[in-house]
Amino acid sequence: MGSNWSVHHHKLGQDTKLSGVVDTLEGRDAIQRDLYRLERWACANLMKSNKAKCKVLHLGRGNPKYGYRLGDGWIESSPTETWGTAQKANRTLGCIKRSVASRSREVILPLYSTLVRPHLEYCVQLWGPQHKTDTDLLDRVQRRATKTIRGLKHLSYEDRLKELGLFSLEKRRLRGDLIAAFQYSKGAYRKMRRDSSSGSVVTERGLASKFTENRT
- pLDDT tens digit sequence for 99-152: 999 999 999 999 999 999 999 988 776 667 777 888 899 999 999 999 999 999
The pLDDT of 83-103, averaged and rounded, is: 93
Q: Is residue 44 part of a domain?
A: yes
Asked whether residue 130 falls in the same domain as residue 177, the answer is: yes
Whole domain around residue 34: which residue ranges? 8-78+200-205
Asked whether residue 94 falls in the same domain as residue 64, the answer is: no
Q: Is residue 26 part of a domain?
A: yes
Asked whether residue 158 falls in the same domain as residue 90, the answer is: yes
Asked whether residue 131 falls in the same domain as residue 43, the answer is: no
The residues pairing with 203 across neighbouring beta strands, listed in sequence order, are 19, 57
Asked whether residue 73 falls in the same domain as residue 91, the answer is: no
The rounded distance, in Å, linking the Cα atoms of 79 and 157 is 28
What per-residue confidence (pLDDT) applies to 213? 38
What per-residue confidence (pLDDT) applies to 4? 61
Q: Is residue 191 part of a domain?
A: no
Q: Which pLDDT tens digit goes with each residue over 10-64?
A: 555 567 777 777 778 888 888 888 888 888 888 888 877 777 778 787 766 677 7
Phi, psi of 175 (to 5 degrees): -60, -45
Asked whether residue 68 falls in the same domain as residue 96, the answer is: no
Asked whether residue 110 falls in the same domain as residue 147, the answer is: yes
Asked whether residue 89 falls in the same domain as residue 167, the answer is: yes
What per-residue confidence (pLDDT) applies to 105? 94
Q: Is residue 155 part of a domain?
A: yes
Asked whether residue 118 falls in the same domain as residue 163, the answer is: yes
Asked whether residue 107 falls in the same domain as residue 73, the answer is: no
| Exposure string for 172-196, b = 16+ CB within 10 A, e = fewer | bbeeeeeebeeeeeeeeeeeeeeee
Q: Is residue 212 part of a domain?
A: no
Query: Which residue, among 122, 173, 112, 114, has the nearest Cα to 144 in the 3D structure?
Result: 112
Q: Is residue 64 part of a domain?
A: yes
What per-residue confidence (pLDDT) applies to 116? 96
Asked whether residue 72 falls in the same domain as residue 102, the answer is: no
More confident call, 94 vs 56: 94
**Do the Cβ atoms of 62 and 206 come closer than 8 Å?**
yes
pLDDT tier at 8, thresholds 50, 70, 90: low
Quote the percentage of the chain above a pLDDT of 70: 75
What per-residue confidence (pLDDT) applies to 163? 95
Radius of gyration (C-alpha) of the chain in whole angstroms: 21
Q: Give the count of domains, the chain.
A: 2
Query: Which residue, among 63, 53, 208, 211, has the nearest Cα to 123 in the 3D structure?
Result: 211
Asked whether residue 88 falls in the same domain as residue 69, the answer is: no
